[in-house]
Structure 1
């Protein structure tokens, strides 16, 4: 008891508490549910199926993920969002570079571009649901430029454009956040490097590729990883705007339907595990790519 009342004893108790409590919460609310989900992925079951009535099916659920038409098509839709994520990052980096060099009214522009990220994803979904509806905002804007409504597609029904319309929604929402992160990284670059480069005759384009990009490689890598992994788990735009209709059901939308509508818990759990593995592989590949791309900056 004397040791616990001593300064060292109290320090030990505090350190032990700060270490064990977060780990315990992480174990209870993250790792144990994940382990349970992995276990469910090997069974055919519903939410209320008793443990003794669950049917062990082995790898059948994992095979179904790649053989069922709805699951595999939803997985392929991630390509649309990955392309959108790369375009979004390029746009954010381009605007961040421009705004970092003292553009007049730059603070107002930063606030306007960052504002969509502060809006709830559900609210944005309803906004764009009316924005794309036939004869509403987008069609009216295009009509001002002389485009007839008959020449325009149904933005949310035509399968040639509806997924790109949803991707544009995600780009509009998230590019401001990435832009602000890029601006913060660019502003941390030593200004003397720009002065030295200007004296050597380097233009803005050369300064970007030889000074800015190598200097912010960490934040670029982080943003790419977060954007790609986020695009693989896109949910709000297709769920709110189209409810996954007309071929817009992303992997998460289909997984939600399988889990909560048809209650195929085993198959939905297998889909979640497959997505986790894909995200893990993509993260490793991106790290290797950027390690190779920025090898000159490292040296």
Structure 2
């Protein structure tokens, strides 16, 4: 059939096909579910019955009036704070491993390896690490002479649990951020550093005057990923603590899952998802505004 068509027509058919198929998949699995989520947020529905009751902004009013829903956002601050440390460490190792260090490829692999591990497997692994009585962390602390710290319940104390969980994320995702920074560093022309060396610039001056300005957009990208991950964290607290102790490690995404699948309130869960989406966009817009203004 295509043999009878001109080359120009065949080319147009191929181009339209390559554009249409991804768009159909995008609308079917991204845009349509998003629109359906927004529609369900205005309804009262248990997720099973065919009847859906229209209640308007009732679900949104409940989200903003119930302090137990919005209060869990404060637990995400630990993930954001540790995420900043994660980016600093990732940039440090990227700069270090971008030099002519012997065995640098092996060190790159070791730092990136945690990222490719399954999140649930990582959570169970650190469950043994942070165990109060038989955990390896408390054992090492005891051997080093920190007897008081060796008795700490890292997953059972409200003041520690979120930072403990966030530290697992640091171990897992730091290598990913490092690889992104490393790719950006390798794109900087070496002539710039050679010229700076001739002018007598120190290592710190090269870093602040050449490296940072050239990878500024990459830093912005990694901060975007960090903020998004901090607001949408779910797997680690769900597996390790189930939101405990006393809901101290419960996150907003866990609250959404609980509302939908435990209390069968899919309308309220949909409204919470929309609020989370708006909150993420708002936070990232503020971040983008300040970073862009600083760049200008």
Please tell me the TM-score bracket, short chain as reference: over 0.9
The equivalent residue for 2:10 is 10
Write the deviation string for residues 178-212 of structure 1: whole angstroms up to 9, x where unpaired. 00110111011111111111222221111111100
What is the correspondence of 1:130-145 to structure 2 with a 5 Å cutoff?
Answer: 130-135=128-133, 136-145=135-144
The equivalent residue for 1:191 is 190
TM-score (norm 1): 0.93
Query: Given the alignment of the two structures, is residue 129 of structure 1 paired with residue 132 of structure 2, yes or no?
Result: no
Check conservation: 1:81, 1:231, Cα contact below 8 A: yes
The equivalent residue for 2:63 is 65
Check conservation: 2:141, 2:150, Cα contact below 8 A: no
What is the number of equivalent residue pairs in this alignment?
A: 293
Q: CA RMSD in A?
A: 1.7
Check conservation: 2:243, 2:249, Cα contact below 8 A: yes
The secondary structure found in structure 2 opposite 1:159 is coil
Structure 2 regions of 5+ residues with no counterpart?
none
What is the correspondence of 1:61-100 to structure 2 with a 5 Å cutoff?
Answer: 61-100=59-98
Structure 1 regions of 5+ residues with no counterpart?
none
Query: Given the alignment of the two structures, is residue 293 of structure 1 paired with residue 294 of structure 2, yes or no?
Result: yes
What is the correspondence of 1:187-266 to structure 2 with a 5 Å cutoff?
Answer: 187-246=186-245, 247-266=248-267
Check conservation: 1:3, 1:9, Cα contact below 8 A: no
Shift of the 149–43 alpha-carbon distance from structure 1 to 2, 3 Å rule, reads: same
Query: Bigger CA drift: 200-209 or 56-65?
Result: 56-65
Aligned counterparts of 2:154 and 2:126: Cα–Cα separation in 1: 11
Give 1:286 shift: 2.1
Query: Given the alignment of the two structures, is residue 105 of structure 1 paired with residue 103 of structure 2, yes or no?
Result: yes
Shift of the 15–4 alpha-carbon distance from structure 1 to 2, 3 Å rule, reads: farther
Query: Given the alignment of the two structures, is residue 159 of structure 1 paired with residue 147 of structure 2, yes or no?
Result: no
The equivalent residue for 1:49 is 49
Aligned counterparts of 1:231 and 1:152: Cα–Cα separation in 2: 28
TM-score (norm 2): 0.94
Write the deviation string for residues 246-275 of structure 1: whole angstroms up to 9, x where unpaired. 111111111111111111101110111111
Query: Bigger CA drift: 240-249 or 101-110?
Result: 101-110
Shift of the 147–44 alpha-carbon distance from structure 1 to 2, 3 Å rule, reads: same
The secondary structure found in structure 1 opposite 2:176 is helix
Query: Given the alignment of the two structures, is residue 118 of structure 1 paired with residue 116 of structure 2, yes or no?
Result: yes
Check conservation: 1:70, 1:254, Cα contact below 8 A: no
Write the deviation string for residues 97-155 of structure 1: whole angstroms up to 9, x where unpaired. 12212223222211111110010001000001111111211100101101226763211
Shift of the 2–110 alpha-carbon distance from structure 1 to 2, 3 Å rule, reads: closer
Check conservation: 1:258, 1:268, Cα contact below 8 A: yes
Aligned counterparts of 2:122 and 2:136: Cα–Cα separation in 1: 14
Q: Which runs of 4+ in 1 moved over 3 A?
A: 1-4, 149-152
Give 1:90 shift: 1.1
The secondary structure found in structure 2 opposite 1:175 is helix
Query: Bigger CA drift: 146-155 or 133-142?
Result: 146-155
The secondary structure found in structure 2 opposite 1:77 is helix
Check conservation: 1:4, 1:10, Cα contact below 8 A: no
Shift of the 146–58 alpha-carbon distance from structure 1 to 2, 3 Å rule, reads: same
What is the correspondence of 1:172-183 to structure 2 with a 5 Å cutoff?
Answer: 172-183=171-182
